[in-house]
Amino acid sequence: MTGLELVVLGVAALATAALTAVAGAGGGMILLIVMLQFVDPLVAIPAHGMIQLCSNGTRAVTLRHDVDRSLIVPFVVPLVPATVIGYLIADSIPRSGGRALIGVFALVAVWWPAATSWLAPKPGRGSRFGIVGAFAGLVNPTLGAIGPLLAPAFRAATADHVAMVATAAVGQALGHVVKVAAFAVAGYAWSDHVGMVLVGTAGVVLGTRIGAHWLRRLDPVKLDWLFKVAVSVGSGRLLVSWVI
């Protein structure tokens, strides 16, 4: 990437991380779209995974006291084997069609909450959330940014907006750990793209700190609408890319 492209990446990383820290979703997808303007998908997706690992990891640490830990175990147990399977079949999954399906699912889940309310943990039913982890693992290696898929499910299963942001951050961070490891084992040349990763990481860490500062200062109703708009915009972008 050129110097100007790195500057654009850094600014985009900061802005999108701040958006996700406040809204709970949408920023990772926007950042991936920006990165795809400069590099090939097979370069962008692993680098984006490393950057988002830092973004979600920073958000998870900052909001660690609000994480709903009862969701993490059922989410992560199927995540690892599902990611391995997803990586192995990544080339056979139609990227545009898969993105469009996630866009439709996210729009339905956001504007019709009953679509994902069955994922909310109940006595003896906590393992149901494992479905989210399994699906996330299967599609993450191919699609790269699946925030619109995960966010409505975490929203349905958590008590409030802050808990959703915190818990989703942990879940997505774990997903990026597994994805990054899979690409590393496959021989991804990290040293060739270290500048892109470092600039993006610096941007998301700073952006996350800024967004987390505002998260508790905004009215819950406004946060709810911001969440819906962020997910809807990201989902709409997926559908537009499929049509075009």
Scanning the structure block, which residue is given the tokens 């309310």?
A: 117
Q: Residue 126 above 60 pLDDT?
A: no
Q: Residue 95 above 60 pLDDT?
A: no
199-221 pLDDT, tens digit each = 999 999 999 888 887 777 777 67
**Contact (CB, 8 A) for 93 and 139:** yes
Q: Residue 144 above 80 pLDDT?
A: no
Instruction: Report, as an integer, the average pLDDT of 54-68.
Output: 89
How high is the pLDDT of residue 222? 76
For 31, list phi and psi in degrees, rounded to 5.
Answer: -65, -40
Q: Residue 123 — pLDDT band, cuts 50, 70, 90?
A: very low
Q: Residue 244 above 80 pLDDT?
A: no
Domain ranges of the chain: 3-243
Instruction: Report, as an integer, the average pLDDT of 14-34.
Output: 80
Q: What mean pLDDT value characterizes the chain?
A: 80
How high is the pLDDT of residue 201? 93
Cβ count within 10 A of residue 91: 9
Alpha carbons 64 and 67: distance in angstroms, whole number? 5
How high is the pLDDT of residue 145? 67
Q: Residue 7 — pLDDT band, cuts 50, 70, 90?
A: very high
Q: Residue 233 above 70 pLDDT?
A: yes
Instruction: Report, as an integer, the average pLDDT of 62-87.
Output: 87
CB burial of residue 122 (10 Å; 0-12, 13-18, 19+): exposed
**Contact (CB, 8 A) for 119 and 157:** yes
